[in-house]
Amino acid sequence: MTRRSEHLSPELHAYMVAHSAPVDGVLRDLVAETERRFPDVTGLQIGPEQGAFMTLFARLIGARDAVEVGTFTGYSSICVARGLPEDGTLLACDISEEWTSVARRYWERAGVAGKVTLRLGPAIDTLRALPPGPQFDLAFIDADKEGYVGYWEELVPRIRPGGALLVDNTLSHGRVVDPSVTLPAVEGIRAFNAHARDDERVEQVLLPIGDGLTVARRR
């Protein structure tokens, strides 16, 4: 899978990245190491324009406390953590010790390790174990697609009013509009998209960034 907004030509994508906040050496090295060590799953990382957007977005909403569901080797977590202030916090949830051991090294290199707490285990259990009330300004969901509605239901009540949720892969590589595709992951995204659209606790927009990024603001 490509690491760019999929409706753009490679040339237009390169132009867009070249005219956005630059990708620094830490993120470039992280992409290279991920490609070298895990060539079959490199496409799991968010792309450079989405990373730049998420850093800027965290800053724009003044986020201090954030949570991520689906950390992998750390690209998106570094982008979110960089948008938080020095006393900011990011709770990073994943099930893979192997992939997140790469993330840990790059959090150090990026200078954000002091903001990040990693919780290994099924993210639904991690979220359910959190205190029930509002405690985060920003959430990013990017893990198993069948779990999205469950993650959303745990996270929306824990987002402070005016805070936001970002949800990845909500266009599912275009498969959301192909009724012949009934893969569980695609059905999970369809179910999530309908669920989020009808949720009156938030106002939201599905943007064509990356593989589709839903941006929702908690009322």
Ligand X SMILES: C[S@@+](CC[C@H](N)C(=O)[O-])C[C@H]1O[C@@H](n2cnc3c(N)ncnc32)[C@H](O)[C@@H]1O
What residues between 157 and 216 interact with ligand X by CB under 6 A? none
Q: Which stretch binds ligand X (CB under 6 A): 18-26, 88-96, 104-112, 204-212?
A: 88-96
Check binding of 67 to ligand X (CB under 6 A).
no
Q: Does 94 bind ligand X (CB under 6 A)?
A: yes
Q: Which of 144, 153, 187, 199 binds ligand X (CB under 6 A)?
A: 144
Q: Which one of 23, 31, 58, 75 is in contact with ligand X (CB under 6 A)?
A: 75
- Expressed in percent and rounded to 5, the helix, strand and coil fractions of the chain are 50, 20, 30
Q: Which is nearer to ligand X, 65 or 99 (CB)?
A: 99
- Our CA angle for 8, 142, 20, nearest 5°, is 40
The answer to whether 41 and 163 have CB atoms below 8 angstroms apart is no
One-letter amino acid of 50: Q
Report CA dihedral (98, 120, 141, 116) to the nearest 10 degrees: -90
Q: Which positions touch ligand X (CB under 6 A)?
A: 44-46, 70-73, 75-76, 93-96, 99, 122-123, 142-144, 147
